[in-house]
Amino acid sequence: MRSERTTRLGVALALALGIGMAPLTLLAQESESDFQPVARQSLDRIVAVVNDRAIMASELEQRVEQARSQLVDNEIEVPENASLREQMLDRLIVEEIQLQLAEDAGLSVDDTELNRQVRGIAESNGMTLEQFADALEEDGLSLGRVRDEVRRQLLLRELQQRQVGGRVNLTEREVERFREQQGGNVSREQASRALFQRKANEALEAWIQEIRADAFIEKRLSASR
């Protein structure tokens, strides 16, 4: 059973990485699959194939539980189980495609940046790194696992910035038009940031659709229920 503190730590990880419940999240969660009996592991099934790699039912169930916990913690209505499972599987598929692209591009995460991010997560919980590690261990997690997940998210972010950043361009006219639409109540800097974020989100969604179309995807979700 996930404790209240574990839920808070998971949400803290989401906020620290700036991704919350975005499509590309895999945050601190109980390492249930790491401690499953051999008999249970042998029953793990494939719920999707992405190019030449498989997504397992255990991965999906962990993601569903983590998403459900965050929704409940934020007092957001939880979708029906079938719908939530489908959404989480789609996110896992998109994430796997991107990880494969990052691997093909030879991208990596610098240990210094990784350590800075992990330390920042600990500090956001009012803890030293050592206290954070102890708290994770008490809740059935490990600092090593959290580091792996943070590294994963940083890798995805780097890939997205490389692929999408060059697609976003702003003109002076667009910025001024936006300010006019807002009644002149925003500065040029605020207008530029808002427009850039909007265009970046649109470009990211378009890119995700492109890479999905180029990938081989086979869902086997129904067989895993």
Those residues whose C-beta lies under 8 Å from the C-beta of residue 58, and which sit 6 or more positions away, are: 32, 33, 36, 44
Each residue of 201-224: pLDDT tens digit? Answer: 999 999 999 999 999 999 998 744
Is residue 118 assigned to a domain?
Answer: yes
Is residue 58 assigned to a domain?
Answer: yes
Confidence of residue 43 (pLDDT cuts 50, 70, 90): low
pTM score, whole prediction: 0.75
Q: What are phi and psi of 162, to 5 degrees?
A: -70, -40
Is residue 72 assigned to a domain?
Answer: yes
CATH number for the domain that contains residue 37? 1.10.4030.10
Each residue of 117-172: pLDDT tens digit? Answer: 999 999 998 999 999 999 988 888 889 988 998 999 999 999 999 998 888 999 99
Amino acid 108: pLDDT: 93
Those residues whose C-beta lies under 8 Å from the C-beta of residue 30, and which sit 6 or more positions away, are: 2, 6, 62, 65, 139, 140, 141
Is residue 52 assigned to a domain?
Answer: yes
Residue 43 amino acid letter: L
Is residue 174 assigned to a domain?
Answer: no
Give the separation between CA 100 and CA 152, rounded to whole angstroms: 12
Each residue of 23-33: pLDDT tens digit? Answer: 333 333 333 33
**Number of domains within the chain:** 1
Is residue 203 assigned to a domain?
Answer: no
Per-residue burial over 79-98, b = 16 or more CB atoms within 10 Å of its CB, e = otherwise: eeeeebbbbbbbbbbbbbbb
Is residue 209 assigned to a domain?
Answer: no
* Residues of the domain holding 48: 4-164+219-224
Each residue of 91-131: pLDDT tens digit? Answer: 999 999 999 999 999 999 999 999 999 999 999 989 999 99
Is residue 208 assigned to a domain?
Answer: no
| Token pair 């997504």: residue | 55
The alpha carbon dihedral of 55, 56, 59, 62 has a sign of positive
